[in-house]
């Protein structure tokens, strides 16, 4: 390299300037710094309410053996952001385990407003059992039946099963007599509830697709 430089000087050419090559240690330090920066950015993004609201059920499911203050704080942040799964889990814990009926019922109602089928079914059971807590509003069989219907329309198997047993009898003979007297026309078989629930889900998917296609900035369903 020195011989090339001397030859260029002899010919009157401008000598080359070699760029300094960083050693391996500086490259490793730069790579580590970049990773830390990206991890920090992703961590900040993961705590935004828009992200917490759509966190999956698996993300907010915390086992009892792994419960800790950090998990409790994360679950509350997700629930406050409007995450239905987090509100349902917090509602069940506060209502049944911690005996904080009012807070638990408020969480479950927030999950119901988001269309959470499990929360709707749990609220129907609470109303049907007629709990004495003043925090539970509109208690009784009629209110419970409306919630069972909402849960069944979402395809909840437990609600479909409970709606299938619309009447209780003292014996099979009384059940057969009542069936022949006209209960056959009044009773809705479980499979019809299931078909209706499947139809409602399909309609919801179609409505969502049509709304996305008609959104501003979309052409034929594709964003532009």
Dihedral sign from CA coordinates of 172, 176, 182, 186: positive
Phi-psi region of 131 (alpha: psi -120 to 50; beta: other; left: phi over 0): beta
pTM of the entire structure? 0.59
pLDDT of residue 178: 74
The pLDDT profile of the chain, 224 residues, written as one tens digit per residue, is: 566 566 666 666 555 555 455 555 555 566 677 777 777 777 777 789 999 999 999 989 888 788 889 889 999 999 999 999 999 999 999 998 888 989 999 999 999 999 999 999 999 888 887 655 666 766 777 788 788 888 887 778 777 767 666 566 677 777 677 777 876 666 655 556 556 656 666 666 666 665 665 655 544 443 43
**Nearest partner of 86 among 72, 96, 99, judged by Cα:** 72
């Amino acid at each position: 390299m020195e011989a090339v430089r001397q030859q260029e000087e002899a010919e009157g050419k401008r000598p080359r300037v070699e760029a300094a090559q960083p050693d391996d240690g500086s490259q490793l330090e730069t790579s580590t710094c970049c990773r830390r920066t990206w991890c920090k950015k992703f961590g900040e993004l993961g705590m935004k309410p828009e992200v917490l609201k759509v966190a999956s059920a698996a993300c907010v499911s915390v086992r009892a053996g792994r419960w800790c203050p950090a998990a409790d704080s994360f679950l509350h942040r997700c629930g406050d952001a409007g995450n239905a799964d987090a509100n349902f889990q917090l509602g069940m814990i506060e209502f049944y385990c911690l005996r904080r009926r009012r807070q638990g019922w408020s969480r479950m109602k927030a999950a119901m407003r988001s269309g959470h089928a499990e929360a709707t079914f749990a609220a129907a059971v609470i109303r049907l059992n007629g709990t004495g807590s003043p925090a539970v509003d509109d208690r009784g069989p009629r209110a419970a039946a409306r919630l069972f219907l909402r849960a069944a329309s979402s395809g909840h198997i437990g609600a479909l099963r409970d709606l299938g047993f619309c009447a209780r009898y003292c014996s099979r003979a009384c059940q057969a007599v009542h069936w022949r007297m006209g209960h056959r026309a009044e009773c809705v078989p479980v499979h019809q509830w299931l078909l209706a629930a499947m139809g409602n889900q399909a309609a919801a998917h179609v409505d969502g697709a049509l709304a996305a296609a008609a959104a501003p900035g979309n052409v034929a369903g594709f964003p532009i």
